[in-house]
A and B are shown apart, each in its own frame.
Chain A
Amino acid sequence: MSRWLQKSYLFLIFTFLYAPIAVLIVFSFNDSKSTSNWSGFSLRWYAELFQDDKILSALYYTLAIALISSLISTVMGTFAAFGLSQMRGRFKGFVLGVNNLPILNPDIVTGIALMSLFVFTGTRLGFMTMLMAHITFSTPYVILSVLPKFKQLSSEMLDAALDLGATPWYAFRKVILPEIMPGIITGFLMAFTLSIDDFVISFFTTGGGVSNLSIEIYSMARRGIKPEINALSTLMFLTVLLLLFVINRRSEKGAGVVLPKTDTLERM
């Protein structure tokens, strides 16, 4: 009985999570522009997607900004977390508080504040300003995900490495870095996702022909979202799915990580 309950609960959760995506994927193959009337199977939105310069350039900027900003903020955040982990006492609390502030701040405040700053300093709004804005809002998240890893780190490890003749930089790379890697990866993925997600801050800090997918999609609101966006979302969803699959396979082979097996796998 409880097993049955468990399963139906799981089923419900997955339905809620994936039903909207399923609808989106189905209607990306719809022949008409409507998202409620099915008028036949067609690949025309996929064909049009790859001819739509605006959407492709928005995709390019979205990925470029997400990749560059998450890389930079991961490096910055990791070193900041290292520094923070060495701090003690009241000052550490203060710095952590300052770090948490931008996370709690509503996006619209951050966006308008950054826009005002850029305009005040006479910076032309565009790629660089949007990139800086994205680095700004993702760095605190990286710090928060890397910091706990430093806490788990035993201080003897570093001392042992130094005693055995490693230089501080060598010890950092070979001893500390591998230990905190999971935190760094989490931080990087978090920064990447946040950057792809963001509309409000991007809208206020960009200009001059640089726009990301969320701005592009939002600006279609008046005339209706083009089904090309459904096609693009489908492709992005499949890419992520494929990526996860490849990663799982690799880690299975590479280090013999035992994946939690499901019932079906066991039966096989």
Chain B
Amino acid sequence: MKLNWNVNANGKEKSRIGARGTLKVFGLLMVVLLLMSGCAASEPAEKLYVYNWGDYIDENVLDEFETEFNVEVIYDTYATNEDLYVKLKQGGTPYDIAIPSDYMIEKMIREDLVEPIDLAQISNFTAIDDRFKDLDFDPGNKFSVPYMWGTVGIIYNTAMIDEEIDSWNALWDPKYEKQILMLDSQRDSIAVALKKLGYSINTKSLEELEAAKAALIEQKPLVLAYAGDNLKDMMIGGEAAIAFCWSGDAVYMISENEDLAYVIPKEGSNLWFDNIVIPKGAQNVEMAHKFIDFLSRPEIGQKNAEYIGYSTPNKETLALLDPEISGDKTAYPDDADLANLEVLLDLGDFIEAYNRVWTEVKSAR
């Protein structure tokens, strides 16, 4: 051994020892890390595969379900409805539960990607507010049970804006030049323009869509940025004065900056839902029903509503919530405000016209 080491004990030797050292230190560290995080408990017999939005459940709820039903919950997350769709459409994943939004549920029902839900097994379905049942995207709730809901509205900084905002036109007001934020999200931004013009957010009329396009291009010089997730931070930090957003995010922004206010414009807006479904090909449909029923329990819904901060569709959960939360008009607006809200529907092939319009808006100068 030793002899061989000396054979080429010249310049090359250095790099060898250095390299060896690197590997040893590196290997040791990895082993320690693997040992640290790899402690698994004994496995229960049954498994339930859940696919949900990132950070969209109080994880203690999953532990509770595991203990009560002696089942192992295997939990994955996704970022957009489209990601979820690709995964489910392609197959190869054994998910028993998923939580898509309204228009995606409609699309999945049409493409036969979801299992029917037996409402007789969901005893807590009665706790869900009738206003959120039997909606256009899933008549009779044959395939989905509401999980969370919310609205789209205007968030504005009262320290920077003196007047009372109540209309989408505020986002087109030259007074607020370079203080306006829009969302870099196709359907949502087009929906704002359509609503401002008094059209349906699900319009299939090219004429109306072109009008919306013209409005968005006209608005462009006033817009500070088409933001993504950073919209929240920009509004909290006072970098912009006015924007539109989802109600759940508005609750969070207002909690971070008291000057902010949220309003549902008088022209109407978008009402959205995330409902629980059982994807086609689920291995454990029976346990999936139990899980849906579990999530619909008033006290479980309370934990999730408090953790996530979005609005619960469960009226018994609502009664359990702190009056400060349930009385918050941002998350739980009056019935009157909900009257002229629309739910996004799947547009089928017409979505290509929306794609084109959005590209033209984004590339316009």
> Which chain A residues have a beta carbon within 8 Å of chain B's beta carbons?
32-37, 52-54, 56-57, 59-60, 63-64, 67, 115-116, 118-119, 123-125, 174, 178-179, 181-182, 184-185, 188, 203-204, 207-209, 211, 215-216, 218-226, 239, 243, 246-247, 250-251, 254-257
Query: Contacting B53 at CB < 8 Å: which of A123, A184, A219, A226?
Result: A219
In this assembly, does B55 line the interface, its C-beta being within 8 Å of a C-beta of chain A? Answer: yes
Apart from A207-B93, A209-B76, A222-B80, list 13 A-B contacts with CB within 8 A.
A34-B236, A34-B237, A36-B233, A36-B239, A67-B34, A115-B92, A185-B22, A208-B74, A208-B94, A216-B77, A219-B54, A246-B25, A255-B18
- In the docked arrangement, what's the CA distance between A69 and B126, Å? 50
Known: A35-B233, A207-B76, A221-B229. A239 touches B16 (CB 8 A): no
Residues of chain B within 8 A of A222, CB atoms compared: 53-54, 56, 79-80, 229
10 nearest A-B pairs in the assembled complex, by CB-CB distance: A219-B54, A209-B74, A60-B37, A219-B77, A251-B18, A119-B92, A207-B93, A36-B237, A255-B14, A220-B54
Cβ contact within 8 Å between B75 and A226:
no
Cβ contact within 8 Å between A178 and B237:
no
Cβ contact within 8 Å between B56 and A211:
no
A22 to chain B, nearest CB (A): 18
Q: Give the B interface residue count (CB, 8 A).
A: 57
- In the docked arrangement, what's the CA distance between A67 and B37, Å? 14
Residues of chain B within 8 A of A36, CB atoms compared: 233-234, 236-237, 239
- In the docked arrangement, what's the CA distance between A226 and B83, Å? 20
Cβ contact within 8 Å between B14 and A37:
no
> Which chain B residues have a beta carbon within 8 Å of chain A's beta carbons?
4, 7-8, 12-23, 25-26, 29-30, 33-34, 37-38, 49, 53-56, 59, 74-80, 83, 86-87, 90-95, 228-229, 232-234, 236-237, 239, 252, 256-257, 308
Cβ contact within 8 Å between B90 and A116:
yes
Query: Contacting B34 at CB < 8 Å: which of A32, A64, A251?
Result: A64
Cβ contact within 8 Å between B53 and A223:
yes
For this complex, 23 residue pairs linking A to B, each with C-beta atoms less than 8 Å apart, are A34-B256, A36-B233, A36-B234, A52-B59, A54-B75, A60-B38, A124-B92, A125-B93, A178-B16, A181-B15, A207-B76, A207-B92, A207-B94, A207-B95, A208-B74, A208-B94, A221-B54, A221-B229, A223-B54, A223-B308, A224-B55, A247-B25, A255-B14
Residue of B nearest to A173 (CB): B4
Residue of A nearest to B309 (CB): A223
- In the docked arrangement, what's the CA distance between A121 and B33, Å? 34
- In the docked arrangement, what's the CA distance between A216 and B76, Å? 9
- In the docked arrangement, what's the CA distance between A267 and B25, Å? 31
